Amino acid sequence: MPLIYLRPYHTSDRSPPLPTNGQAAGAAPAPAPAPWSEGEKASANQRRFPNSHYLRRQRHCKHSIERSLPCRCRHESITAYSRRLKVGAQYCEYGAFLDYSLIVQFIHGVRDDSIRDTIVLKKPEKFTDALAIALDLEATKTAISESTKPQPTSSDGRPPSTNTAASSSSPAPRLGSLLKKYQGLFNESADKLNGPPADVKFRDGYQPVFARVRQIPFALRDQYAAEIDKKIASGCYRRVSSSQWASPTHIVKKGSKMRITGDYKGTLNPQLVVNEYPIPRVEELFHRLRGATIFSRLDITDAYMSLPCTKKFCDAMTLNTPTHGLIQPTRAQYSVASIPAIWQRRMETVLRGLNCALNFFDDILVFAKSEEEMLRALDATLSRLQEAGLKLRQEKCAFMLSSIEFLGHTVDSSGLHCQNKHIEAIKNTPIPKNANELRTFLGKNAKADILSRSPVDETCSTCPVRDDFNEFVQLQIQQTPLTSKNIARETSKDPHLSQIVQLLLNGRDLRTAGFTGREADYSLSEGCLLLGPRVVIPAKFQPQLLEELHVAHIGIVKMKALARSLVYWPSIDADIEKMAKSCQPCLKNAKLPSKFRSHHWEYPSAPWDCIHVDYCRPFLGKYILIVVDAFSKWMCAAITSNLLENWFSQFGVPSVLVSDNGPQFTSEFFKNFLKTQGVKFHKTSAVYHPSTNGQVERGVQTLKRALKDAEATPSSLQHCINNFLQYHKAPHQSAGQPPSLLFHGRLIRLRLDMI
């Protein structure tokens, strides 16, 4: 629909009609029209409100249309053009898209291709950033063009210039003269770096690798072929008919340009002994910039492509292309593992002795404290680069700046600043306002807690190597129990405890002897001191008892409950807490606090009436079947998948069996097995809610955490499971009593009972 510009029509707007074809321009005007009647005035007043409404809307649309059409005038500067764009955008309701719209229009209006490509390459988020990039490049080009402009001489018929000293006092003309002096440095084609060709060392017994060609999209084929032809013409590539080496090519798009390099990760790189050279740390580079106030940035044209290589190295870098067949580079390629170190060493050699310049691979930063010092530093640096045979890319160079971006930071006279442009998209992410936007946000920002689920183990160079013999010796040491004879002998040697033993042997009352607290309640049996049924452990055996209590890694609460039924010494609770809290495997595998109790099963009336079964997912390459009795919390675990029948023969057939929805429990074979065994009900947990089978899920967590804390290995896995028997004698938190007492009607006997 065509845009119609309307404006209100008032009586004051009525003007004499234009001359008709038969009336001369200078003739007397026609008679004035008759005054409006009352009906015409009323009709005009009625049309005034809608016309004024359309006027505002059409003016807004008119500004949007007019702002989207203008281009930069021939003699208009970038600053004036940007100002005209911003003035025209005042009436546009673009909102959050204003910066994007201005950048797009700005790019279309800029006539310089290099400036346009640079803005597209750097992808600025704000219009002010795009304008700063354009102004920076325009200033550099202006300085270079002024320096290369021919100057008038006396041979042109003009008097010779006599005030050159006065004109060179400002830095801009002097910078132009300096750039004119080194104008041969600025070239889009790379040249050869002077010095010996780069070489690499191959591994012993290496074998050449020939990889097949990798196809490229048809849309890029013409540009791909043109780029290779360009490199062949410049001497960077050469055609070969055969080679023992061949690597596929890889394309890197940089704006409208294309960079072709080799993919050597599966061909050449594994066969190389990678050159080692210390790459400077970012902290070291920024430390050298202290006190600098003026900065210049130099970018080397196709840096690695300036480095010539030996014939053997070039043969190994041969590329297999889909358009030209085998192409052999004569210069270094970007993907070769040894090239970064070789290049950094050569560049530091080129710039050695210049305290005003530093490099990080192909980026060179020149810094100074004053303009005079900067001009001298640029002269020295450009002279070194010219002597080395390097070329610079003009559109990426910047001179005499008070603030500059370098290695992801902004550097100026006040110091170092982090750049926020990389996190602007995160900071400016709109808050979801409805369910669909929330789902979109969660879908794009889903994160799995992989660090706690799959912690990285120690590397082989740091973890101790445990062979079968060491496993056997360790198991024999752990099986040596602590007896009452050992405790009695060590008690008689303890200065404090032996005094109590002598008083008890003489029939003295410990309270009258001055002992208070629990020590006054000690008794003597077979040379050992007792506190009720608990054996008092001398200081020598306390660490060994702590290790024995912690062998199953059952936690602080269960360790205390187990110790209170067997052993005692004054600081036993504090020592148990210190022991458990200092155990690194326990801390690494500690569980998160429970969120809520999502399901409660009906409490069974007898042991083994309702059992919960589940498989512990592959642990050290083996599946562990776990069965938990819902009444007593008795747990069975074994490294096999067919033990239910054996357990049913030992403990009887349960009435109810609860499992998850795994295929091993929902298969027809398992259903028939339960039916033939006489299990009345087979209940499964809710899909995607494993907490509804929380009895066995908690058992799986407890067992896996205990095995991880015990640092189980494939050869000691069953032994660690056997050590887990301590769990059956420790009082259970929910049942209030040990599982063995509720399941068997008695407490099972452990090695600790030998005390």
Q: Which of residues 26 and 189 earns the better pLDDT score? A: 189
**Any idea where the domains of the chain sit in the sequence?**
71-138, 185-415, 484-589, 610-753
Q: What is the mean pLDDT of residues 691-698?
A: 75
pLDDT at 6: 36
Pair 301, 230: CB distance under 8 Å = no
What DSSP letter does each residue of 185-199 carry, written as one string? GB-SS--PPSSSPB-
Provide the pLDDT for residue 599: 54
Report the pLDDT averaged over residues 396-412.
Answer: 86
Q: If you average pLDDT over residues 472-480, what whole number do you get?
A: 51
Region of poorest pLDDT, from 1-15, 572-586, 593-607: 1-15
Examine the pLDDT at 75 and tell me if it is beyond 70.
Answer: no
How many CB atoms neighbour CB 215 within 10 A? 9
pLDDT at 167 over 80: no
**pLDDT grade for 582, boundaries at 50, 70 and 90:** confident
**pLDDT value at residue 146:** 52
Average pLDDT across the chain, whole number: 77
Task: Answer for the pair 343, 362: CB distance below 8 angstroms, yes or no.
Answer: yes
More confident residue, 604 or 68: 604
Q: What pLDDT was estimated at residue 642? A: 60
**Given a cut of 60, is residue 296 above it in pLDDT?**
yes
Contact 391, 301 (CB under 8 A): yes
- Of 619, 602, 611, 621, nearest to 643 by C-alpha is 611
Asked if pLDDT for residue 636 goes beyond 70, the answer is yes
610-753: CATH number: 3.30.420.10
Question: Which tokens belong to 450?
Answer: 């992989």
Query: Which region among 113-122, 326-335, 611-620, 706-715 has the lowest average model confidence (pLDDT)?
Result: 706-715
Give pLDDT, residue 646.
77
| Residue 633 Cα to chain centre, angstroms | 43
Spatial distance between the Cα atoms of 302 and 254, rounded to a whole number of angstroms:
12
Residues 349-386: pLDDT tens digits?
Answer: 999 888 889 988 888 999 998 888 999 999 999 999 99
At residue 708, the pLDDT reads 75
- Residue given tokens 């970012």 in the structure block: 282
Q: Which residue has the higher pLDDT, 504 or 477?
A: 504
CATH number of 185-415: 3.30.70.270
pLDDT digits (tens, 9 = 90+) for 618-631: 666 677 788 888 88
610 pLDDT above the threshold of 60? yes
The residues with which 257 forms a beta bridge, in sequence order, are 254
Percent of the chain with pLDDT over 90: 14
82 pLDDT above the threshold of 50: yes
pLDDT of residue 54: 44
Q: Tell me how far the alpha carbon of residue 681 is from its chain's centroid.
A: 49
Residue 724 CA to residue 717 CA, distance in Å, equals 11
- Distances from the Cα of 553 to the Cα of 401, 472, 549, 634, 703, angstroms: 63, 21, 8, 17, 9
Whole-number Å distance between alpha carbons of 755 and 752: 6
CATH number (1.10.10.10, 3.30.56.10, 1.10.340.70, 3.30.360.10) of 484-589 reads 1.10.340.70
Statement: residue 141 has pLDDT above 80 = no
Q: Given this model, what pLDDT does residue 24 score?
A: 42
DSSP letter (8 states) at residue 126: S
Tokens representing 17? 């009609």
For residue 29, what pLDDT is reported?
Answer: 45
E strand or H helix at 360, and its extent?
A: strand 357-360
The pLDDT of residue 19 is above 50? no
In the prediction, which pLDDT does 385 show? 92
Q: Where are the beta strands (DSSP E) in 89-223?
A: 201-202
Q: Minimum mean pLDDT among 286-300, 454-468, 705-719: which range?
A: 454-468
pLDDT higher than 50, residue 96: yes
Angstrom distance (rounded) from CA 43 to CA 70: 39
Q: Per-residue pLDDT for 51 more than 70?
A: no
Q: Does 328 or 692 have the greater pLDDT score?
A: 328
Supply the pLDDT for residue 189.
83
Per-residue pLDDT, 559: 86
The pLDDT of residue 468: 56
Long-range interactions of 502-508: CB distance < 8 A, separation 24+: 504/529
338: pLDDT strictly greater than 80: yes
pLDDT confidence tier of residue 36, bands split at 50, 70 and 90: very low
- CA dist 480 and 224 (Å) reads 74
Q: What is the pLDDT of residues 530-579, one digit of tens each?
A: 988 889 999 888 888 888 888 878 888 888 888 888 889 989 999 998 88
Least confident of 269-278, 490-499, 741-750: 741-750
Please give the Cα distance from 308 to 33 (Å, whole number).
Answer: 90
If one compares 72 and 630, the residue with the highest pLDDT of the two is: 630
Placement of tokens 């099972």 in the chain: 748
For the cut 80, the answer to whether the pLDDT of residue 299 exceeds it is yes
Using a 10 angstrom Cβ sphere, with 0-12 exposed, 13-18 middle and 19 or more buried, the burial of residue 200 is buried
Q: How much is the average pLDDT of 72-83?
A: 72
Place of tokens 């946000």: 441
Which range, 100-109, 332-341, 511-520, 670-679, is most confident?
332-341
Sheet holding 237-239, edge to edge: 237-239, 325-329, 319-321, 247-254, 257-262
Strands in 456-604 per DSSP E: 523-525, 528-531, 534-536, 567-568
pLDDT at 201: 92
pLDDT digit string (tens) for 308-325?
999 999 999 999 999 999
Nearest to 632 by CA among 549, 747, 723, 554: 747
CA torsion 290-293-296-297 (nearest 10°) is 50
In the predicted model, is pLDDT for residue 68 greater than 80?
Answer: no
